[in-house]
Chains A and B, each alone.
Chain A
Amino acid sequence: MTEKLLELKNVTMKFGGVTALNEVNLHVNKGEIAALIGPNGAGKTTVFNVVTGVYKPTSGEVNFNAQSLIGRKRYQVTKMGIARTFQNIRLFGESTALENVVTGADVHSKSGVVGAIFGTPRSRREEAAAVERGMELLEFMGLKHRAGQLGKNLPYGDQRRLEIARALATNPQLLLLDEPAAGFNPAEKVALAATIRKIRDAGYTVLLIEHDMSLIMDISDRVAVLDFGQKIADDVPKVVQNDPRVIEAYLGAPADAS
């Protein structure tokens, strides 16, 4: 049951003089909801960027299903089964909600330009399947009625949910969510927690960045804490919550108080 789906080994990521990640070891087990927390600027989003191929780490290993991800193209990482959302929403605003999702679902189509021009049976079949999958996911995220609306015209919460639907459309084994509840009210957060559980129960593995502690404690199986690019804790929520180093990282060093 504790099969490692994603594993970062001694990953360091430097941007000029800034060390965003410093010798980070991190893993996500298959089938769990793992959380990544830490103060602002701790390096959480950088972990996502390193995993999805946005940045190539300065040193260290990133393995997915025991295969190295380093040096792979971003679209290949997605094809291998990792999809993500963005902290600052990055939808295709000029495309409809359905088109946004179907763009993700297209990953699994084999036909391309030639198939589209000649309307080959495979192209038609794959188009229909991608659209059906897209509709299914919109419905799952409660966005079916938004299908024909442009991404930029959706209300804020729906935009966040649409990002999750679009990521799911690529059929990932691992779903990376970067602060999916940012800007949500308590009721929306509860609904989102239920949705994330449902996603896990459907067989997906989730790695979640979040600032809302109660949400984290509620749904995650394991919590890793980053502070100034270093991992300072990694355990079940209860233990992490009471870890003095974590409390210190969030509240500031006791020395600061004096």
Chain B
Amino acid sequence: MADKKFRYNLRDHAADYWERSPKWRRVSLSISFIAFFYALPFLNNPLINTPGSDFQSVLFYPVGMYVLMAIGLNIVVGKSGLLDLGYVAFFAIGAYTMAILGTHTSLNFWEILPIGIALAMVSGVLLGTPTLRLRGDYLAIVTLGFGEIVRIVAVNIEAIGGPRGIAGIPTPPDLFKAKFTILDPKPYYWVLLTFTLLIIWMVRRMAARRPGRAWDAIRQDDDVAQLMGVNTLKYKVWAFVLGAAVAGAGGVLYASQILSIVPDQFNLNVSILILACVVFGGIGNLWGVILGAALLAFTPERIRFLSQPRILVFGIALVVMMNLRPDGILPKKKREHFDPNWKTVEESGEGEIK
């Protein structure tokens, strides 16, 4: 028990500190936090540098991209408890939308972005509506199949490049004097960071309101959720669609940076890795998931100087971590609240109802 207390202390202290803070302190803390992340590409610290690969590139991909995708998948897996093993499909749909429209039409990145998100969402609805009636294992298998199907379809359609994929994807037009080129990943990173912040903001709003309660209920006991009036299928499809939207946005941005895509980039490994980020960070806990994804994406780059053995080192580190903290780095744990206004009423039957 004492061990348990010690484990959760840091996070609880941080949360307490935040809750006790006046508004001005929260705002200034948030601003400095956000500013730090916008300035991150300029930080030249030997601790976080990535010898062997360009630090600024690493920030965009894999780190930033994994964080974004993990936040999206966490809505599905963490909040609503739906095991999705084909999440990469939505990322692929976003990327292919950018690639196809970018090379065949005069639409630019900003015009394609909403289309890519919309297409990912539509495929989320199409996949989700029939399959989300299934439970647990079945859903996992169907989504796994979907992820593979999207990739295999891309391989087999010559019109979209078949196994060779699509090259020559245009970069986004300049934005506020920032030029998007293959040589400079910073503007991409800033756009990605902006997406991520926006999504964090949305997820937090949903979590504290009706959708969050519905997802909590569904995850804990689907039958009872229904009997308490939750339209469970609707909220599951929403979770799926929101997750798809996030991955779709990520895919569009990714394709516009990498300039050429091939179907094999969107294989099962990506789905599994994103899921690993979520589990490693702490299923259901937004901050845990962000931290988990950042660490999982960053560590292999940080130890790239080890060359081949790095994957082994990384794997061992993962196994050790998951043994030490089976619920993730920052596990989801609701804190209890006591409000002095909630006076103690000893006996049942006090108060009135209408």
Binds B, one of A2-10, A34-42, A89-97, A210-218: A89-97
**Contact across chains for A117 and B205 when beta carbons are under 8 A apart:** yes
B238 interface contact, C-beta 8 A: yes
**Contact across chains for A73 and B226 when beta carbons are under 8 A apart:** yes
Convert B167-210 into 0s and 1s, putting 1 for each residue whose CB lies closer than 8 angstroms to a CB of A.
Answer: 00000000000000000000000000000000000100110011
Option from B209, B220, B343, B348 in Cβ contact (under 8 Å) with A116:
B209
A25 interface contact, C-beta 8 A: no
Binds A, one of B24-32, B66-74, B330-338: B330-338
A67 interface contact, C-beta 8 A: no
Q: Which residues of A contact B235 (CB under 8 A)?
A: 112-113
Determine the main DSSP class of A at the interface with B.
Answer: helix
- The tally of CB-CB contacts under 8 A between chains A and B is 158
Closest to A99 in B: B213
A173 interface contact, C-beta 8 A: no
A246 interface contact, C-beta 8 A: no
Min CB–CB distance B24 → chain A (angstroms): 22
Convert A91-119 into 0s and 1s, putting 1 for each residue whose CB lies closer than 8 angstroms to a CB of B.
Answer: 01111100100111011010111011101
Given A54-B223, A90-B224, A117-B202 in contact, is the A194-B349 Cβ separation under 8 Å? Answer: yes
Count chain B CB atoms within 10 A of each CB in A73, A106, A107 and give the residue with the most.
A106
Count chain B CB atoms within 10 A of each CB in A104, A113, A149, A150 and give the residue with the most.
A113
CA distance A78 to B51 in the complex (A): 60
Given A90-B221, A103-B230, A112-B211 in contact, is the A95-B348 Cβ separation under 8 Å? Answer: no
Closest to B241 in A: A113
Count chain B CB atoms within 10 A of each CB in A107, A112, A143, A166 and give the residue with the most.
A112
Closest to A77 in B: B227
**Contact across chains for B336 and A150 when beta carbons are under 8 A apart:** yes
Option from A127, A148, A198 in Cβ contact (under 8 Å) with B349:
A198
Given A79-B229, A94-B220, A95-B220 in contact, is the A142-B349 Cβ separation under 8 Å? Answer: yes
**Contact across chains for A74 and B227 when beta carbons are under 8 A apart:** yes
Closest to A139 in B: B351
Q: Which residues of A contact B229 (CB under 8 A)?
A: 75, 78-79, 83, 104, 106-107, 170
- Pull 10 A–B residue pairs with CB atoms less than 8 Å apart, ordered by A: A96-B337, A103-B214, A111-B210, A112-B211, A130-B210, A136-B351, A139-B351, A150-B334, A188-B348, A202-B354
Contacts from A to B (Cβ < 8 Å): 52, 54, 73-75, 78-79, 83-84, 86, 90, 92-96, 99, 102-104, 106-107, 109, 111-113, 115-117, 119, 123, 126-127, 130, 136-137, 139-150, 153, 161, 166-168, 170, 188, 191-192, 194-195, 198-199, 202
